[in-house]
Amino acid sequence: MLKKISKHLLILSLLLGGLLLARLVFAQDFGTEAVNNGLNGVLSVDDPRTIAGRIINIVLGFLGIIAVGIIIAAGFIWMTSGGDEEKLSKAKKLLKNGVIGLIIILASWAIATFILTKLGGTMGGNSGGCIDGETTSCGCGGYMICNDGYWSSCINSNCNGGPGPTSCDSNSIEPGCQAANQICSSEDYCDENNCSCQPKGNLGDPCDADLTNATCDPDNNRCADYLICSSDTCTCYGPPVITGVSPTGGFCEDNFNKACTSDSDCATSCNLSSPNGAPDNFITIFGQNFGEYSPGLSQIIFEGNGNPMSGIDPAELNPACLSSWSNNQIVIAVPLGVNSGAITVVNADSLSDSTDNDYGPELPDFEANNIIRPGLCYIDPNRGLLSSEVGYQGINLYSGNAYFGNYQTNVRGLDSQFIDPSGLSGTANIPNIQAGDSGSFVINNLNGNNQKSN
């Protein structure tokens, strides 16, 4: 009796094992879609290795179904044998062959997956093949998540203005470099030669990916935003792009010359988004690819709805306002007689961008008004420790106060000293703020209203 019970338990165990193996086979999702997961997503759709992988998956999936069918048939014969030794022997043989077949199929699939994945990593470049759901560090407290065999962008990375990640190897366990650009900060690219994060090039910087040969191997990843690597010169190239203008808002929609901080100050609503200012006010234009200033070529044009006017060099209003034009920031004074309209930046190569076109972000038009504001052309030094003194140069600064941060979140500077009667300069000490990049501006009461500088 005990022997008979043991035999039935063995039969039940084998059947359950067969069903579990069957579930494993189907869980692998053999078929035309399985290649995306089974091969870690490292091959492109038209890649011959992808096609081979799909064929292997289909064939092995079909064989797996046959093997499961054999196991089920063996179990049925065994359970209905009624003690017939010939049927039992046949069932045992079928069950044995079915289980062996499943093992061979699964082993074959694993070997094929391993080989094709390695081929994908070797021949397909640094795709960063990974297991879905896997996470890896990408520096400064950030992490990436694997999805469909590819690493996501870096999440929650915050370097606070400090140095970003230096290594961009997405898998330090595997030999060689598994380069992943998303590990580096937004200002860096991943150099596949040594798996290190390197600064992206600005306008005119080299972008050849392979210096071992005499030809140009352009790599757009080596160039900053809004730039491409020119195959003719192997340098970063592109027109200027305007990404923002400051200051913005602070006037009533029903009366552009009336200052406001909220809708309650106006008959209708308070504009908080459009750049604006009176003649001689300073505005800051932010962006990329402005290049170096070239007299007679580099210029800012206030389009003025059909009445274009060139901006005024801030040095004409404050002789200390030197070097107000840089690659990513321009300080300019509003010209007398300006009309509302778009703003255009023209660089030394006669390439241009306007705030109202489709290249880069589309920004509101500049609104001309009579609201006088304090203005800054530069601060010195542009970095320092807590309580370090910072010098300010600009216009309309007398009796003002310096702030660190942005218009929405800021901390008042320590011991603001804007006592120059001409209003062209002042000082303040750095408050206790978090280390990293920070803006700075001045608030001054002019004509009864607290106005923010650029």
263 DSSP assignment: G
Instruction: Kindly give the parts of the chain with pLDDT less than 50.
Output: 1-6, 8-46, 121-128
Rounded to an integer, what distance in angstroms lies between the CA atom of residue 336 and that of residue 162? 42
Rounded to an integer, what distance in angstroms lies between the CA atom of residue 144 and that of residue 130? 11
What is the reported pLDDT for 93?
84
CA-nearest of 284, 286, 294, 292 to 202 is 292
Report the amino acid identity of residue 266: C
Handedness of CA 351, 357, 359, 364 (dihedral sign): positive
What is the reported pLDDT for 277?
92
Q: How big is the CA angle at 378 (ends 374 and 383), to the nearest 5 degrees? A: 120
Q: What are phi and psi of 315, to 5 degrees?
A: -65, -20
What is the reported pLDDT for 446?
87
Rounded to an integer, what distance in angstroms lies between the CA atom of residue 190 and that of residue 180? 6
What is the reported pLDDT for 97?
83
Provide the b/e sequence for 301-315 (b: ≥16 CB within 10 Å).
bbbbeeeebebbbbe
What is the reported pLDDT for 149?
66
**Count of Cβ atoms closer than 10 Å to residue 383 Cβ:** 11
**Count of Cβ atoms closer than 10 Å to residue 388 Cβ:** 11
Q: Are 355 and 318 in contact (CB under 8 A)?
A: no
What is the reported pLDDT for 88?
81
Q: Are 321 and 330 in contact (CB under 8 A)?
A: no
- Structural domains in the chain? 2-123 (no CATH), 241-368 (2.60.40.10), 375-452 (2.60.40.10)
Tokens 């120059």 belong to residue? 420
The string of pLDDT tens digits covering residues 110-130 is 787 777 665 554 433 334 456
Rounded to an integer, what distance in angstroms lies between the CA atom of residue 401 and that of residue 295? 34
Kindly report the pTM of this predicted structure: 0.62
